[in-house]
């Protein structure tokens, strides 16, 4: 049985490439979309050769490309879309620089939401497909250390929840992924607890499994569900005194 193509938005990221390799290993053709996509030629060739699947590159700028026009220009509509777009930015900078804050907000909420919304309409019309949004535990409750990034992820999580509710009863799956800390270039230099930190390959494996099993929401490391349950239920008077 021929497996549907998997499109990775944000295919240059460590997570994006790991996800591409995981789905390719399962027999899916891969479409890697990123800025400067031609710079991923070595990765594309390795994926195609190693796993014996078709792999293509697609130039994509989440903050500039109009979703509908970009999707219509694809050679074929994917069966699975994984949105690994994201930009953490720097909280102190975002507090004083509105341009940088806007980039964080648009990169983590507006752009991912709009492109997945456009794919959702096409998948519903076709009668099949899976939409995967990589959100964050940072969106479960606003924390002083990263509330600009966290608020954007909170919006994205709410968007995915609403989209899933809207598409309930259709053949289209909407999966929300909350990885927690991931050992990538974006977190390089940060002091991360090994117990709370996932490797990109583990994130990829969890996503591929969740798509096969038609899951709705996953925490890649289950311990994060407990951690965030505690954090989200702290009374505001107590929470204000924390430094999370």
Please say if 219 is a catalytic residue. Answer: no
Distance (Å, whole) CA 202 – CA 223: 14
Q: Which of 9, 29, 161 is nearest to 86 (CA)?
A: 9
Question: Looking up tokens 């940060």, which residue turns up?
Answer: 190
Question: Looking up tokens 């019309």, which residue turns up?
Answer: 125
**Tokens standing for residue 223:** 């311990």
The answer to whether 43 and 66 have CB atoms below 8 angstroms apart is: no
Which of 60, 87, 147, 149 does the annotation list as catalytic? 149
Contacts of 20 (CB under 8 A, 6+ apart): 6, 8, 11, 30, 32, 43, 47, 55
Give strand pairing partners of 218: 177
Distance (Å, whole) CA 182 – CA 31: 23
Distance (Å, whole) CA 209 – CA 42: 26
Active site amino acids = 149
């Amino acid at each position: 049985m021929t497996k549907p193509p998997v499109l990775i938005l944000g295919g240059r990221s460590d997570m994006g490439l790991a996800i591409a390799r995981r789905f390719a290993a399962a027999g899916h053709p891969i479409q890697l979309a990123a800025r400067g996509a031609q710079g991923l030629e070595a990765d594309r060739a390795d994926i195609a050769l190693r796993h014996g699947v078709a792999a293509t590159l697609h130039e994509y700028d989440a903050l500039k490309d109009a979703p509908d026009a970009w999707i219509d220009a694809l050679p074929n509509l994917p069966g699975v879309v994984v949105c690994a777009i994201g930009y953490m930015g720097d909280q102190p900078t975002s507090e004083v620089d509105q341009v940088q804050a806007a980039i964080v907000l648009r990169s983590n909420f507006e752009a991912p939401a709009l492109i997945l919304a456009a794919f959702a309409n096409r998948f519903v019309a076709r009668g099949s497909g899976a939409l995967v949004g990589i959100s964050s535990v940072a969106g479960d409750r606003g924390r002083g250390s990263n509330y600009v990034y966290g608020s954007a992820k909170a919006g994205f999580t709410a968007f995915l929840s609403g989209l899933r509710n809207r598409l309930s009863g259709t053949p289209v799956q909407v999966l929300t992924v909350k990885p927690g800390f991931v050992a990538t270039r974006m977190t390089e230099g940060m002091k991360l607890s090994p117990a709370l930190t996932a490797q990109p390959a583990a994130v990829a494996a969890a996503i591929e499994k969740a798509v096969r099993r038609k899951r709705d929401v996953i925490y890649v490391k289950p311990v994060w569900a407990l951690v965030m349950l505690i954090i989200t239920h702290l009374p505001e008077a107590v929470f204000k005194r924390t430094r999370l």
